[in-house]
């Protein structure tokens, strides 16, 4: 089903942990892979925290991780925009982490009510205000580029989830009758390509493991990776019929049965 993988890519929220609670068996799976010295990456669409925070969070849960192994959508976005000066002045609907990583990468950010942006960047923002939404709407109707860190509707939490960037994208798409033009995090093929290049293996030797068909599995499919879906809610007939995983398991621990090593 997953062949003989040479590299592993794990989603974080809903795969390794929910909120601050490690998902049972995640540590065993990772320990088993660590023994082989095969490379591992942890990829999260959550742009709210730094790579340092995720490294510490994982280590505190008993999951060994190194900062170089962590890819967040805010880190990725700041690096991407740094290489794409054509996006010009950016107005970001986002939180402190995205803003500070963008500043570190010398991205030209404008404030709400300030200079006219060339691009609207939508992200997961628990500090969203009417003013931010209105400013983005106004400039989108006047031709600004429309990009986003991630398309997720809900970020899983122990309390049932937080409204994520997808909800803000939907609001702006409905209001402007436009579609977001570029997603930078999962499931974008630009992230897929970056991962494969970074891991130094071919796409088909990579396996991506996650709990979302429209982000984790879609990224793997687009890039040509092997895909493992953790169907933790035991969904009988997934609505997403485009992203069919190579392997479906109900809990991360079940992956142990499929690894071609002890
Ligand atoms: Mg997830």
- 163 with 207, same domain: the answer is no
Task: Report the 10 Å Cβ neighbour count for 62.
Answer: 11
What is the whole-number distance in angstroms between the Cα of residue 211 and the centre of ligand 1? 5
| pLDDT on residue 156 | 83
Q: What is the spatial distance between Cα 33 and Cα 10, in angstroms, rounded to a whole number?
A: 12
pLDDT > 90: what percent of the chain? 91
Q: What is the pLDDT of residues 40-73, one digit of tens each?
A: 999 999 999 999 999 999 999 999 999 999 999 9
Which residues sit opposite 120 in a β-bridge?
A: 91, 146
What is the whole-number distance in angstroms between the Cα of residue 169 and the centre of ligand 1? 19
Rg (CA), the chain: 18
- 130 with 160, same domain: the answer is yes
Residue 167 lies in a domain: yes
Residue 104 lies in a domain: yes
Strand, helix or coil at 84? coil
Residue 63 lies in a domain: no
Which residues span the domain enclosing 249?
7-45+186-258
Q: What is the spatial distance between Cα 231 and Cα 126, in angstroms, rounded to a whole number?
A: 27
The last residue of one of the domains, among 183, 215, 247, is 183
Q: What is the pLDDT of residues 135-191, one digit of tens each?
A: 999 999 999 999 999 999 999 888 989 999 999 999 999 999 999 999 999 999 989
The last residue of one of the domains, among 153, 183, 213, is 183
- 152 with 204, same domain: the answer is no
The last residue of one of the domains, among 161, 183, 205, is 183
Residues whose Cβ atom is located within 5 A of ion ligand 1: 11, 13-14, 211
What is the whole-number distance in angstroms between the Cα of residue 116 and the centre of ligand 1? 35
Write the CATH number for 142: 3.40.50.1000
Domain count for the chain, please give it.
Answer: 2
Q: What is the spatial distance between Cα 95 and Cα 125, in angstroms, rounded to a whole number?
A: 6
Decide: 73 and 47 in contact? Cβ < 8 Å. Answer: yes
Residue 60 lies in a domain: no
* pLDDT tier at 1, thresholds 50, 70, 90: confident
């Amino acid at each position: 089903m997953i062949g003989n993988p040479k590299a592993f890519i794990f989603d974080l929220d809903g795969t390794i942990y929910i909120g601050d609670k490690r998902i049972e068996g995640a540590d065993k799976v990772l320990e088993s892979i660590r023994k082989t010295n095969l490379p591992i990456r942890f990829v999260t669409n959550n742009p709210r925290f730094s790579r340092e925070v995720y490294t510490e969070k994982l280590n505190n849960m008993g999951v060994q991780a190194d900062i170089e192994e962590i890819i967040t959508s805010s880190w990725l976005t700041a690096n991407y925009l740094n290489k794409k000066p054509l996006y010009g002045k950016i107005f970001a609907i986002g939180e402190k982490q995205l803003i500070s990583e963008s500043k570190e990468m010398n991205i030209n950010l404008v404030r709400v009510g300030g200079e006219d942006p060339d691009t609207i960047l939508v992200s997961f923002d628990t500090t969203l205000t009417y003013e931010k939404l209105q400013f983005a709407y106004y400039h989108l109707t006047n031709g600004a580029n429309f990009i986003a860190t991630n398309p997720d509707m809900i970020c899983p939490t122990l309390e049932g989830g937080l409204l994520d960037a997808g909800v803000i994208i939907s609001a702006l798409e409905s209001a402007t009758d436009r579609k977001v033009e570029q997603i930078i995090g999962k499931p974008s093929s630009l992230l897929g390509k970056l991962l494969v290049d970074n891991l130094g293996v071919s796409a088909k030797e990579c396996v991506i493991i996650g709990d979302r068909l429209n982000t984790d599995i879609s990224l793997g499919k687009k890039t040509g990776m092997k895909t493992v879906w953790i169907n933790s809610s035991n969904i009988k007939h997934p609505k997403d019929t485009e992203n069919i995983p190579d392997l479906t398991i109900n809990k991360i621990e079940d992956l142990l049965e499929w690894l071609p090593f002890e």
